[in-house]
A and B are shown apart, each in its own frame.
Chain A
Amino acid sequence: NAGVTQTPKFQVLKTGQSMTLQCAQDMNHEYMSWYRQDPGMGLRLIHYSVGAGITDQGEVPNGYNVSRSTTEDFPLRLLSAAPSQTSVYFCASSYSYGSRADTQYFGPGTRLTVL
């Protein structure tokens, strides 16, 4: 199993550009989520999905869109990038969302810089 994969690893954008961060998992996990990691702030939840066709907002959703057309893929879209979106983005998945003890598996991250 590849686990959770993310592409690209690094990306530089100009303000106003759009892009999609890709995330895929091959573990047949129901639950997938996107976090951003900023210095001194830990990880903050952007959006999450409890299954194909179902998504919801997390703590910091503004400026980001998601969709979940398949169990495996959960792309994150930046429609008009802003410098405040400079961050490291992590995708995560877990087997289900109903269990209190489910381990979340994280991808290697995408480091995004917006100029």
Chain B
Amino acid sequence: GNSVTQMEGPVTLSEEAFLTINCTYTATGYPSLFWYVQYPGEGLQLLLKATKADDKGSNKGFEATYRKETTSFHLEKGSVQVSDSAVYFCAFGGTSYGKLTFGQGTILTVHP
């Protein structure tokens, strides 16, 4: 069935370190791919998205490329900040009306 597998956390980094959070998916058809972020005490908000193979989504210094051949959508940032501390969710959608399938989430903590 459809599923998303995310890199297990928690991930702890120092400020200005490089970040990668791995995400792979299993889906029929050609889903759209998303990264959502959840800051402490808040709901989820869209970080970036990509709708077709080789598309690159980017926002706030974060990037992810839709790799159809490896069914992956890894999240990267070159230099993290303390304010990036949050839970990051990979998700795909578009295979069933409106439904998003989420990964389990990765907790990121950035220390000064």
Chain B associates with chain A: yes
Residues of A within 8 A of B (CB): 4, 31, 33, 35, 40-45, 48, 50, 58, 90, 92, 94, 97-109
Q: Find the A residue at minimum CB distance from B49.
A: A101
A45 to B101, CA, bound (A): 8
Q: Which 9 A-B pairs have the closest CB atoms?
A: A100-B94, A97-B98, A106-B43, A42-B102, A106-B44, A31-B98, A97-B97, A42-B104, A43-B102
Asked whether, in the complex, the Cβ of A90 is within 8 Å of the Cβ of B100, the reply is no
Residues of B within 8 A of A (CB): 4, 6, 31-32, 34, 36, 41-46, 49, 51, 89, 93-94, 97-100, 102-105
A94 to B49, CA, bound (A): 15
With contacts defined as CB atoms under 8 Å apart, how many contacts are there between chain A and chain B in the complex?
Answer: 67
Asked whether, in the complex, the Cβ of A102 is within 8 Å of the Cβ of B44, the reply is no
